[in-house]
Amino acid sequence: MASIVLINPFEVPAAGEEEFLARWREAADYLRRQDGFVSTRLHASLDPSARFRFVNVADWRSPAHFRRAVGAEAFAQTVRRMPFTSVPGLYRLAAE
């Protein structure tokens, strides 16, 4: 199946990890109920001082499905409560 991949590296200070995980779960619970959601995996760095403490990798059926899901007001509210710098991007598989 041709799907797309959201990759989202997060900068999270040590003091913010618990809050980040709670917010991430809240966002993931919302997103997994949306049309076009395939799967999501949250990665935590082995090195606590890594620049990107967490990286989310999620499969979606298409860019349109993903954009519709995160464009909804309910989700925007969830994200506004998440005070962490991140670098989200949509990707396609280029090579294996």
- The residues binding a copy of itself (CB under 8 A) are 4-5, 7, 9, 21, 24-25, 28, 39-47, 50-52, 54-55, 57, 63, 87, 89-96
What is the closest distance, in whole angstroms, from the C-beta atom of residue 55 to a copy of itself in the complex? 5
28 touches 1 (CB < 8 A): no
| C-beta of 48 vs 73, nearer to a copy of itself | 48
The CA-CA-CA angle for residues 82, 77, 33, to 5°, reads 95
Q: Minimal CA–CA distance to 11: which of 79, 86, 81? A: 86
What is the closest distance, in whole angstroms, from the C-beta atom of residue 40 to a copy of itself in the complex? 7
Torsion angle, alpha carbons of 62, 92, 89, 71, to 10: 0
What is the closest distance, in whole angstroms, from the C-beta atom of residue 81 to a copy of itself in the complex? 18
